[in-house]
Amino acid sequence: MTVHWQAVRLSASVIHLFFFAVLLTSCTQQEVSGVYGSSFDSPSKESWNVHIVMSQAASDADESFPRVRISADHVQWIGRGDSTIQYLYGVDRKVEIEIFDSTGVQSAFLEADRVTYHEKEEYFTAEGNVRIETTDQRMLTTDWLEWWESDHRLRTHSFVTIRTPDEVVSGVGLEATEDLGSYQIGRFQAKIIPDS
């Protein structure tokens, strides 16, 4: 009887070892979609559930105001030459950016699947389901957008739609102020909403 149980124990160990070997050989390395960088770029640091505040100060003031407030599920910092690029992306939710004017008052809200910040050049690119809403009920939607800090301008060569209380304008290509108070669309279509 004892010999029989040892054989059963040995068989169970062999089965466990077999399943473990199958499990190990079936594992594969997969690239995570949405993670930026190439195989040559490795992040110098990364973090999850990130909240970043970038401040601005007037040249004659002793105090600073928030310029942007960013929330992202994941961020990677990758150094390239003398610059650092931040790759931000959403996993459970979109990347969210609150944009503030020079007095510290929120002027717009941006959300996108992925956002990249080029530190040295001071511009953002937003990709995937990009939406900007301003405090005066203007909304922009597109798939890709650049936002330059130096001139506070938004630019895209992609299809874009802007909705205001008075009109809906869409077309390919855009240059606009970050509060959408002024914009120019390349090839466009417009729909004027008449007063009711």
The alpha carbon dihedral of 99, 145, 184, 153 has a sign of positive
Token pair 């105090």 is found at 63
Residue with tokens 């979609």, as numbered in its chain: 33
Sequence spans of domains, the chain: 45-192
Percent of the residues in the chain that have a pLDDT greater than 90, as a whole number: 53
CATH architecture label of 45-192: Sandwich (2.60)
∠180-182-187 over CA atoms, to 5°? 95
Residue 13 clears pLDDT 60, i.e. is over it = no
pLDDT tens digit sequence for 151-192: 889 999 999 999 999 899 999 999 999 999 999 998 776 666
| Phi, psi angle pair for 122, to nearest 5° | 55, 55
What HEC string does 62-96 produce?
A: CCEEEEEEEEEEEEEEEEECCEEEEEEECCCCCEE
Q: What is the pTM of this model?
A: 0.72
